[in-house]
């Protein structure tokens, strides 16, 4: 099967959605499917590359930051992608298009499908759905939503990355939506056994933006100064300096590590040395870092929102808490950090649960729906 994947953020650009797409592409390529990815270029990256069996084509989008895309860079990607996509389709003659994110990638897939007749499958992430990430997309959806409906309607299949994302999508779009979770290569990532570090290692991974609520991490952990722990916060973004100031103000410089933006491989290295994933986010689809945390056997303390509902079995491998309740966050973390046997139990449960998100199972589902689309065609 020849698959053209259209996605405007693909590692090392972007966040978890791109990483999820990469893992799917890599697994499909390993099964001897011909996988080409059309994505955005940024300075320092090759325009064309062959990596892990994937043919990567990067096109100009005026993008300057790896962790953030503006409306204009998204528009530039779509406009540039029309010519590049038509050229790729003529050269490689793909059987099907797989696009992640209804906007902007889905708009490009829709246009190419109109022009060439190629069918496409849409994978919807939380930011694709009105109300999913209000601070980021609500202003756009006030005028953009009517233009997104044809993108969803023309897709031969639509998959949402979590049940929460599917639920929101069905409130706005009259299409059938299935759930295919983000996955990871559990076979190669999972630890053979877990051990509790001394002191316990807490980790956060994501953009330093309001959605991820990074300052709350400092405020909550400042209530636990009497315990022995270390916290690493991976990532970059506009709120990084604010986080540094709050750490300084709390007198906890020696407790925190802030390595900045790191590669996906470095994220996994940090996870291998950690015990607890702490994510007090306001909004999430199905965060890839959450799935990776399961494979690394991390206990998860997170907000009771979005995809974390799929990742955390309450009281088994972690705890879900109201994002506004810093007191309860602190209580649960205190309980875990001060009880190594409990922490070990939670970690072992996460390792077991990771099997539900094995990339081979996820790729099986995509392979099936791609074949169904082609059979219908």
Main-chain phi, psi angles of 321, to 5 degrees = -135, 145
As a whole number of angstroms, the distance between CA 364 and CA 131 comes to 30
Q: Which residues contact 206 (CB under 8 A, 6 or more apart)?
A: 15, 16, 212, 214, 234, 235, 279, 281, 287, 289
| pLDDT over threshold 90, residue 16 | no
Measured distance CA(203)–CA(276) in Å, rounded: 6
Residue 269 CA from chain centroid, whole number:
18
pLDDT value, residue 238? 92
* Alpha-carbon span 121 to 284, nearest angstrom: 22
pTM (two decimals): 0.81
Q: Look at residue 137 in the predicted model and tell me its pLDDT.
A: 53
Per-residue pLDDT, 69: 72
Flag whether pLDDT at 377 surpasses 80. no
329 and 220 Cβ atoms separated by less than 8 Å = yes
Q: How confident is the model at residue 334 (pLDDT cuts 50, 70, 90)?
A: very high
- Residues 133 and 137: their CA atoms lie apart, in Å, by 6
* pLDDT score for 185: 86
Per-residue pLDDT averaged across 109-122, rounded? Answer: 97
Query: What pLDDT, on a 0 to 100 scale, did the predictor assign at position 5?
Result: 98
pLDDT score of 314: 93
**What is the distance between the alpha carbons of residues 339 and 348, in angstroms, rounded to a whole number?**
15
- Report whether pLDDT(9) > 80: yes
CB crowding 52-72: b at 16 or more within 10 Å, else e? ebbbbbbbbbbbeebbebeee
Confidence of residue 133 (pLDDT cuts 50, 70, 90): low
Separation of alpha carbons 217 and 246, rounded Å: 10
- Tokens found for residue 38: 């059309």
Residue with tokens 């309740």: 325
d(CA 104, CA 51) in angstroms, rounded, equals: 24
Instruction: Give the pLDDT of residue 136.
Output: 53
Which pLDDT score, from 0 to 100, does residue 67 have? 65
Helix/strand/coil (H/E/C) assignment for every residue in 105-137: HHHHHHHHHHHHCCCEEEEECHHHCCCCCHHHH
pLDDT at 103: 87
Q: How many helices (H) and strands (E) does the chain have?
A: 14, 14
Query: Residue 332: enclosing H or E segment and its boundaries?
Result: helix 326-337
Q: pLDDT at position 263, please?
A: 85
More confident position, 353 or 60: 353
Q: What pLDDT does residue 138 have?
A: 55
Is 135 a residue whose pLDDT tops 70?
no
- Per-residue pLDDT for 104 more than 70? yes
Give tens-digit pLDDT for 311-325.
999 999 999 999 999
In 3D, which of 194, 361, 352, 357 has the Cα closest to residue 271? 194
8 A C-beta contact, residue 179 and residue 168 = no
Measure the CA angle with vertex 98, ends 363 and 120; round to 5°: 125
- The 3-state DSSP class for residue 79 equals helix
Contacts of 341 (CB under 8 A, 6+ apart): none
pLDDT confidence bin for 58, thresholds 50/70/90: very high
Decide which of 275 and 168 is more confident.
275
Query: What's the average model confidence in pLDDT over 207-232?
Result: 96
Higher pLDDT, 58 or 148: 58
Q: What is the mean pLDDT of residues 232-258?
A: 96
Q: DSSP alpha helices (H): ranges in 276-324?
A: 288-295, 308-311
CA distances to 14, 183, 196, 211, 266 from 298, in Å: 23, 16, 10, 22, 16
Q: What is the largest CA-CA distance in the chain?
A: 64
Given this model, what pLDDT does residue 198 score? 95
């Amino acid at each position: 099967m020849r698959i053209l994947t259209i996605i405007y953020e693909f590692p090392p650009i972007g966040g978890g959605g791109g990483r999820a797409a990469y893992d799917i592409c890599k697994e499909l390529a390993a099964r001897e499917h011909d996988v080409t990815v059309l994505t955005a270029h940024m300075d320092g990256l090759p325009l064309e590359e062959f990596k892990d069996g994937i043919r990567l084509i990067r096109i100009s989008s005026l993008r300057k930051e790896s962790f953030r895309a503006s409306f204009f860079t998204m528009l530039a990607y779509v406009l540039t992608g029309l010519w590049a996509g038509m050229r790729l389709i003529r050269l490689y003659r793909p059987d099907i298009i797989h696009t992640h994110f209804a906007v902007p990638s889905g708009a490009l897939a829709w246009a190419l499908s109109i022009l060439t007749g190629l069918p496409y499958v849409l994978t919807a992430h939380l930011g694709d759905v009105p109300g999913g990430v209000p601070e980021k997309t609500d202003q756009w959806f006030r005028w953009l939503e009517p233009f997104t409906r044809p993108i969803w309607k023309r897709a031969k299949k639509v998959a949402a990355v979590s049940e929460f994302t599917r639920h929101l999508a069905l409130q706005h779009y009259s299409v059938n939506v299935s759930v295919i979770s983000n996955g990871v290569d559990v076979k190669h990532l999972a630890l053979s056994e877990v051990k509790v570090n001394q002191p316990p290692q807490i980790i956060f991974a994501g953009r330093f933006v309001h959605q991820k609520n990074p300052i709350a991490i400092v405020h909550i952990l400042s209530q636990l100064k009497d315990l022995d722990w270390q916290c690493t916060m991976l990532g970059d973004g506009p709120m990084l300096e604010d986080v540094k100031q709050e750490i300084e103000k709390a007198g906890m410089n020696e407790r925190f590590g802030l390595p900045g933006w790191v590669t996906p491989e470095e994220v996994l290295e940090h996870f291998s040395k950690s015990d607890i994933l702490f994510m007090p986010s306001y909004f999430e689809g199905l965060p890839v870092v959450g799935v990776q945390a399961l494979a690394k056997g991390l206990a998860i303390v997170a907000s009771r929102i979005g995809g974390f509902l799929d990742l955390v079995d309450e009281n088994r491998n972690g705890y879900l808490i109201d994002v506004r309740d810093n007191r309860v966050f602190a209580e649960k973390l205190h309980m875990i950090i001060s009880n190594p046997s409990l922490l070990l139990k939670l970690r072992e449960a996460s390792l077991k649960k990771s099997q539900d998100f094995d990339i081979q199972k996820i790729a099986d589902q995509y392979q099936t729906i791609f074949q169904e689309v082609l059979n219908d065609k």
